[in-house]
Amino acid sequence: MIRTILIAVLTVGVIGSAYWGYQEHQEKNAILINAENNYQRAFHNLTYQMDLLNDKIGSTLAMNSKKSLSPTLADVWRITSEARGEVGQLPLTLMPFNKTEEFLTNIGNFSYRTAVRDLDNEPLSDEEYATLKKLYKQSNDIRGELRNVQHQVLKNNLRWMDVETALASGKEAADNTIIDGFKTVEKQVEGYDEENFQDTAIVSFKKKDENYDHITGKTITEKEAVQLAQKYAAMKTVEQSVVAENGKGANYGFYSVNLDDGNGNSASLDITKKGGYPVWFMNHRDIGEQKLSLHDAQVKAEQFLSSHDYEQLQLTESTQYDSIGLLTFTSVQDGVTIYPESIKIKVALDNGQIIGFAAADYLKGKKERKMTEPVLTLADARGFINENVRVMENRLAIIVNDLGEEVLCYEFIGTMDDDTYRLYINAENGIEEKVEKLQNAETVYEDII
């Protein structure tokens, strides 16, 4: 009798384990299929965008009127932005593809800057026309290479998940068609980059440095990276730490660090190898009921910045999401707010812990700047604002405009009807560089139902 019961229990256990394993397998397959579908969609969209880009650039060569040329060039700018977005969704972060992205950026900047000027009074020059012809040929070559990769993907039913696995493991198969195809594209674009460097019409639009080459300090070891990570994450003890270096071909060197204190608290950080500066970090834990105000969060964030030697920063924006405060601090020099040097901090409003930190913009933008005096007066700048906007605050600020250039502006905070806006008027020529609608308070639907 007992034996029969034991056999029955074991049988049920085996069946249960098999069913659980089957369910796990099905869920894993569903995740992999979803990821593969997203990669395939992004790749085929990228190929399609390159087709459109080539066609649009070709169309501009036959146009000569502002009425037709400006919208077409604006379309070229839009398409390059979408193409770069598709590249960002492919598993190529560990493989160098920055030259291709830079090529797309240069085309976008060139077309945008040309589209927004008055082409009736300042038509395309012979040099710019020659540049368009060159970009047309180059984009056609890249389109052809991508089409070839697409043909191989469809013909041989290739999977992008295999690419991700190969890149992550560092064991790139010699016959990986997708990786080889993208390497060919990157190498080809690198040749164009050298060729275009001689073209003054393109050089002026070259992508500005967005890396961390200007960072100073000694190169830290993995052990030092863990110590710094523990300090920034405010972990008293670390039971387990995992450190990984970024892959070959990346634009800068950093360590990715994961910490676990063994008590249910963990943190993830990226730290630069040179100087040991945190690019970002995040504490992973559940946030309890709110006990602190957003002002309390500001005090905690300011104390954190001060303790880690971040100076001359002021709060420029604060928002609350449930029991989390999100604050943005920006550098100030000679009374001018410098938005390219900004740090975002997340504060848990249950106990004031810093649970998130993002300093990529600050590290990239931090540099010595020679401050210039505005050409326009404050009164002049206010004259360029919509008369229906009621101005509440103003200050001088440096921002990065749509062309990637740093410009000195008058920043105005104003209201119109029930909305609040932030407006930037170029302090040199009165151009309305940016208009941002600020977030209104979120509706609490629980109180409505």
- Residue of 235, 215, 219 lying closest to 227 (CA atoms): 235
Digit-coded pLDDT (tens) for 155-195: 878 777 776 666 666 655 545 777 778 788 887 777 776 56
Cβ neighbours for 112, distance < 8 A, ≥ 6 positions apart: 73, 74, 77, 402, 403
Burial class (CB in 10 A: 0-12, 13-18, 19+), 317: middle
Q: Are 334 and 405 in a shared domain?
A: no
In a domain, 168, yes or no: yes
| Helix %, strand %, coil % of the chain (to 5) | 45, 25, 30
Q: Are 216 and 181 in a shared domain?
A: no
Where on the phi/psi map is residue 123: left (φ > 0), alpha (ψ -120 to 50), or beta?
Answer: beta
Q: Are 80 and 103 in a shared domain?
A: yes
The Cα 5–Cα 8 span in angstroms is: 5
What are φ and ψ of residue 316, in 5° steps? -115, -15
Number of domains composing the chain: 4
The Cα 48–Cα 352 span in angstroms is: 48
Q: Are 263 and 302 in a shared domain?
A: no
Pairing mode, if any, of strands 336-348 and 390-400?
A: parallel
Burial class (CB in 10 A: 0-12, 13-18, 19+), 259: buried
The conformation of residue 274, written as its DSSP 8-state character, comes to B
The Cα 124–Cα 405 span in angstroms is: 22
Angle between helices 126-156 and 2-60 (to 10 degrees): 150
| Domain that residue 291 falls in | 286-366
* The pLDDT value given to residue 330: 95
Q: Are 177 and 54 in a shared domain?
A: yes
* The pLDDT value given to residue 157: 80
The conformation of residue 246, written as its DSSP 8-state character, comes to P
In a domain, 442, yes or no: no
Decide: 17 and 24 in contact? Cβ < 8 Å: no
Burial class (CB in 10 A: 0-12, 13-18, 19+), 143: buried
The Cα 381–Cα 94 span in angstroms is: 46
- Residue of 90, 92, 101 lying closest to 42 (CA atoms): 90
Alpha-carbon dihedral of residues 144, 149, 154, 160, nearest 10 degrees?
-140
- Residue of 294, 240, 246 lying closest to 267 (CA atoms): 240
The Cα 177–Cα 158 span in angstroms is: 8
Residue with tokens 């208009």: 435
Q: Are 26 and 126 in a shared domain?
A: yes
* The pLDDT value given to residue 443: 45
Half-sphere exposure of 228 (CA within 13 A, CB side): 26
- Which tokens in the block code for residue 208? 């500005």
* The pLDDT value given to residue 46: 86
As beta bridge partners, residue 271 has: 255, 278
Of 203, 223, 245, the domain-final residue: 203
The conformation of residue 383, written as its DSSP 8-state character, comes to T
Q: Are 348 and 214 in a shared domain?
A: no
In a domain, 230, yes or no: yes
Q: Are 146 and 108 in a shared domain?
A: yes
The Cα 148–Cα 183 span in angstroms is: 13
- Residue of 200, 188, 196 lying closest to 100 (CA atoms): 188
Q: Are 97 and 63 in a shared domain?
A: yes
Low-confidence ranges of the chain (pLDDT < 70): 1-32, 64-67, 92-97, 163-175, 193-211, 247-251, 403, 439-449
In a domain, 350, yes or no: yes
Q: Are 100 and 158 in a shared domain?
A: yes
- Which tokens in the block code for residue 252? 């800068």
Burial class (CB in 10 A: 0-12, 13-18, 19+), 95: buried
Q: Are 346 and 396 in a shared domain?
A: no
* The pLDDT value given to residue 174: 46
